[in-house]
Amino acid sequence: MRDGAYDCDVLVIGGGIVGLSTAYAITRAAPGTRVTVLEKEPGPARHQTGRNSGVIHSGIYYRPGSLKARYAVRGAAEMVKFCAEYGIPHAVTGKLIVATARAELPRLHALVQRGRENGIPVRELGAAQIAGYEPEVRGLAAIHVGTTGVCDYTAVARQLAHASGADLRYGARVVRVDRRPERGVAVLTASGDVVRGRVLVNCAGLRCDEIAHLTGDEPDVRIVPFRGEYYELARPELVRGLVYPVPDPAFPFLGVHLTRGIDGSVHIGPNAVPALAREGYAWSTVRPRELAGTLSWPGSWTMARRHWRYGAGELRRSVSRAAFLTAVRRLLPAVQESDLVRAPAGVRAQAVLRDGTLVDDFLIREGARAVHVLNAPSPAATASLPIGREVGRRALEMLEGA
């Protein structure tokens, strides 16, 4: 293509917080770079970004040296600064991680060490000290992490979209990608529009593996969607801030926790159950083709055989309010079944390898004239600004090479 035949220099697919952070980073690092963002929904942040608990994670859970650890610690401070700069509702509340059984105490102590290795201030608490932070919470021991907070990530995404100066095209579902390494990429949308760019960035979240396949790249992972189901607490006065259980290190899920949001409401959850569609926000949402794609991936079956006991517990809490209540009462004994009000669910885009391994870190891969973000679950929203810079840096290097 001749220079005039390109609609943009960098074509970003996906208008969630990672895609918009990437557009923002590119235009900040290289003013004058033309960036177009294609988003299939009528507005930004309609899926993972806009359907999470709004927590600004500290980075305490993540393996020292991993992308998650580095980006979360850095990203939390940057997210607070970004929200303050643009007047976006946020608060640095701190959080408790509470051990409710003796078997959890070694894991709690390991988190203290991990937090210190990641440069995160952590305070250890005895059982009697928990009430000083959360009077209604009970446990054997806890740690307080002061750098955790909450914000409105949908508002963050909108501000990134505005500040990036990118050409934002909503309702633009990608159905075909024609990539020629010597000529760039041409993308066809469902409405029949063709958008041409020099470099493509794939930030499609729940559909990132599908977009990678459309470009001709083999991602070697499959997105297996997990629905996270939430309740809202009818008596929010029972919880002052954020309260988490001690997570199982074998899984990239944090367990059922209590989150006081920026609006003062308290959400409980999520649990994690297989979704029957990429955007399966309820058991009633079933898309046979997408379900068949999940079931045909060898890693799905290996994962199920390996972790069926954990999965059975999650399923039980999904179908039984009483079972969910039992899990919550381990942290908050005062809660009653009448306190649990169903809230909107989210879906996590979990990358699973062929051997059944759940990818536990951010995964960014490159192809000819393409950068693919293939795993960006929590804490991706927290870490979105440094992730965007990293993805943007790779795209700009490709652009220079092109």
Average pLDDT estimate for 269-280: 94
Percent of all residues in the chain with a pLDDT value above 70, rounded to a whole number: 98
CA distance 178 to 214: 8
Q: How confident is the model at residue 182 (pLDDT cuts 50, 70, 90)?
A: confident
Least trusted range by pLDDT, from 114-118, 187-191, 238-242, 251-255: 251-255
**Of 264, 211, 272, which Cα lies nearest the Cα of 241?**
264
pLDDT of amino acid 250: 67
Q: State pTM to two decimals.
A: 0.95
342 DSSP β-pair partners: 231
pLDDT at 1 exceeding the cut of 50: no
pLDDT tens figures, 155-169: 999 999 999 999 999
Q: Collect all residues with Cβ–Cβ distance below 8 Å to 233 and sequence separation of at least 6.
A: 239, 258, 265, 266, 267, 268, 335, 339, 340, 341
pLDDT at 249 exceeding the cut of 80: no
pLDDT at 259 exceeding the cut of 50: yes
DSSP 330-385: TT-TT--GGGEEEEEEEEEEEEEETTSPBP-S-EEEEETTEEEEEE--TTTTTTHH
CA distance 176 to 214: 6
DSSP 8-state assignment for residue 246: P
> Which residue has tokens 């960036």?
35
**Of 34, 47, 258, 56, which Cα lies nearest the Cα of 142?**
258
**Of 370, 369, 366, 364, which Cα lies nearest the Cα of 402?**
369
Question: Is 306:382 a contact under the CB 8 Å cutoff?
Answer: no
Considering the segment(s) 3-48+155-220+361-401 as one domain, its CATH architecture is 3-Layer(bba) Sandwich (3.50)
pLDDT of amino acid 4: 58
pLDDT of amino acid 181: 82
DSSP 8-state assignment for residue 253: -
pLDDT of amino acid 71: 96
pLDDT tens figures, 111-123: 999 999 999 999 9
Q: How confident is the model at residue 391 (pLDDT cuts 50, 70, 90)?
A: very high
Q: Collect all residues with Cβ–Cβ distance below 8 Å to 31 and sequence separation of at least 6.
A: none
Q: How confident is the model at residue 251 (pLDDT cuts 50, 70, 90)?
A: low
Question: 340 versus 181: which is more confidently predicted?
Answer: 340
pLDDT tens figures, 127-146: 999 999 999 999 999 999 99
